[in-house]
Amino acid sequence: MASIYRRKGTTGRYRVKFRDPGGAWRDVLGYIDARASKEMGRKLEQLAAIRAAGETPEPELSRFVRGLPAKLQEKLARWGLLDGAAYAGTKPLTQHLDDYKKALLAGVASRRQNGPATDKHAELVHNRVETLLNGIDATVLADVRVEQVGDYLAKRRTNGLSAQSSNHYLRSCKAFLSWMVRTGRATTNSLANVAPMQVTPKLRKHVRRPLEHDEAATLLQTTRTGSTCEGMPAEERYWLYRIALETALRSSELRALTRQHFELDDAEPFVWLPGDDTKNRKGAELPLRTETVVELRTFLVDKHPKTAVFPKMPAKHHISRMIRADLEAAEIEYSTDSGVVDFHALRGTCLSWLADAGTPLKVLQDFARHSDPKLTMNVYARTLRGSLAGAARRLPDLAGLAVSLAKATGTDHIRALQTTPKTTPNGAQSRAPACADLRTEPDACHDIGTSKKPLEKQCGTRTNAHSDAPDERRRRDSNPRDDCSPNGFQDRRLQPLGHSSKSCRTRHRAKARSSTVSSNDRSNGCVQISAYRKPVWEGVRCNTRVADGPCRSKSGRRLHSIDGTDERRYGARHVYAAALTLQAVPSRTSASRPTAASTTVGVRRRLGHRNRDR
């Protein structure tokens, strides 16, 4: 139960003692009136009990809390008697913003913050958020609404604010509200789902362009022979521009360079900077060209190790005027349709040169010290003059490639045959059927298949596509053909499907010898074996050559037919057998040809065990 008391020897306001939701005793300053102080203690204990039970205070109790002094409300929020978010909602946003700036300087403003922020960055973020809050007349957290923020930024863009700057204002405000949610000062971030604008080159207000190789050489030569500009001598400006073009250092990083940052005696000379002098707060080591190191020794010979290399470098707003004057002296346009050339454009020039030279993306990102490769390629690396034309010249010659492929496959003469007209006796022109027609259209070669003339004379050309081709072309052919068969298909050698045991072969030969083939069946183009009764009609595509003696498989084994008439044996078992009557085709390799009756080829497939025929 709450109690009130006065310290001994004092008069004036009572002190109120009560327990917080955790059970700890707390002491606050009450009123001069004892009755009012007791009522205050009773309500504070009632508020602690409601908070411990997780319930919502009644309106009368909420009005009592809002009437308490701000410092007392802050104490009650720390002790758990008040909701932190509800208490923060009544606190002015300017006070929260000052606390956020302190968190930035301490390095605890966000989880992604890499160490304490600089005074410049913290002040920049503070000014952006303050400007946005003043623009929408927001004094407390409840005044920050999505509609008002969107209208304010759209109005600023109409008055000349770039899309990139508009995104900076939005991101700073979103980060501020996220910090309030993380610290318990707010329950939700009202701008969490607001997406930034898509920044395209057309929406950019300040687009930079890279210098071409000849423009950079002209700028350096003109600057070195010029006079002092903006208080900086010509020789220092020359080395300032050259180091920026070869290392992609920013102006603030070049300003922090001293003599001790150049390691010129190393096996691989480089320039380095500590994390305190870089933008991302990480140390940097950038290599130097050998030719640059030789000339740089002379420029740094009189420099003290801890003395700035460019002590007379102009301020940030004056350095743009300095390079613009040097560009005018070199007769280089400052602003073109591609963009402008300011001092920061030298950094983009270096990265554009590296990208044009074919530097891998990861190496280019590390050289630029960017956290996102999209920033490197979409903003800094630009296309140089003539790069697109050079890329088009590296495309393959498709016309020449087609001719090479035709020669490699041995089909170049077929193209000429198909396109060469033939004169008939009556003066008309017609095209003779080519060998390609024999492979694709069997009906077109019907007369050729029944004629007694050699196939070479009927086609008007040699049927062997590789007979007059060199060995190099023969080796390139992935599927060589030997002859064109009368039935319109390419003959291919019979490939073995398997082998059967000796006892099975003997039994199959006996059945084949006992089978009778009638002349009627042979005249109809069908040969049936009594053991299997599986007909195969003449004219069906056959992937085997007519028997011209012992035929061998790829492995060198001899292949035999089941009847043993032509001394070929083809292993199979328990699946099917087929016989096909084929007409004999004249062969250049063998003078003796079997008859139609002896060209019965049996095809059988084995499913059982495989015993190799030795």
The per-residue pLDDT for range 357-375, each reduced to its tens digit, is: 999 999 999 999 999 999 9
Q: Which range among 345-349, 550-554, 578-582, 604-608 has the greatest average pLDDT?
A: 345-349
What's the 3-state SS for 142-203? HHCCHHHHHHHHHHHHHCCCCHHHHHHHHHHHHHHHHHHHHCCCCCCCCCCCCCCCCCCCCC
d(CA 290, CA 297): 11
CA nearest neighbour of 569 among 503, 496, 516, 515: 496
Q: Is 490 exposed, middle or buried (0-12, 13-18, 19+ CB in 10 A)?
A: middle
| pLDDT above 90 for 599 | no
Query: In this structure, are residues 178 and 110 in contact, taking their beta carbons and an 8 Å threshold?
Result: yes
SS3 29: strand
Six-digit token pair at 493? 């050698």
Q: Is the pLDDT of residue 484 over 80?
A: no
Return the higher-pLDDT residue of 317 and 295: 295
What's the average model confidence in pLDDT over 1-26?
84
pLDDT digits (tens, 9 = 90+) for 68-120: 887 888 788 888 887 766 666 667 889 899 999 999 999 899 888 878 888 98
Given this model, what pLDDT does residue 549 score? 45
Residue 79 near residue 20, CB atoms below 8 Å: yes
Task: Map residue 48 onto helix, strand or coil.
Answer: helix
Higher pLDDT, 448 or 45: 45
pTM of the model: 0.53
Q: Are 75 and 44 in contact (CB under 8 A)?
A: no
In whole angstroms, give the CA distance from residue 607 to residue 573. 6
What does the pLDDT look like over 116-147, one tens digit per residue?
888 989 999 999 999 999 999 998 888 899 99
Position 481: which residue type?
Answer: R
Where does the pLDDT of residue 558 fall: very low under 50, low under 70, confident under 90, or very high at 90 and above? very low
- What are the Cα distances from residue 4, in Å, to 40, 41, 73, 530? 10, 8, 19, 122
The arithmetic mean of pLDDT across residues 542-561, rounded, is 43
CA distance 350 to 334: 18
Pairwise pLDDT comparison (220 vs 603), residue with the higher score: 220
CA distance readout (Å), 3 to 7, 38, 79: 13, 7, 18
**pLDDT per position as a tens digit, 252-293:** 999 999 999 999 998 999 999 998 899 888 899 999 999 999
Pick the more confident residue, 602 or 191.
Answer: 191
Give pLDDT, residue 562: 41
Looking at the chain, the number of H-run helices and the number of E-run strands are 25, 12
Share of the chain above pLDDT 90, in %: 33
Q: What angle do CA 15, 16, 18 make, to 5 degrees?
A: 150
**What is the pLDDT averaged over residues 521-529?**
41
Per-residue confidence (pLDDT) for residue 89, from 0 to 100: 62
pLDDT of residue 388: 86
- The more confident residue out of 594 and 153 is 153
373 touches 360 (CB < 8 A): no
Mean pLDDT on 1-28: 85
The band of 3, judged by pLDDT with boundaries at 50, 70 and 90, is: confident
Percent of the chain past pLDDT 70, that is, above it, reads: 64
Which amino acid belongs to residue 240? L
Nearest to 298 by CA among 256, 249, 264: 264
List of E strands, 188-302: 262-263, 270-273, 284-287
Mean pLDDT taken over the chain: 74
Buried-state track 576-586, b at ≥16 Cβ within 10 A, e below 16 = ebbbbbbeebe
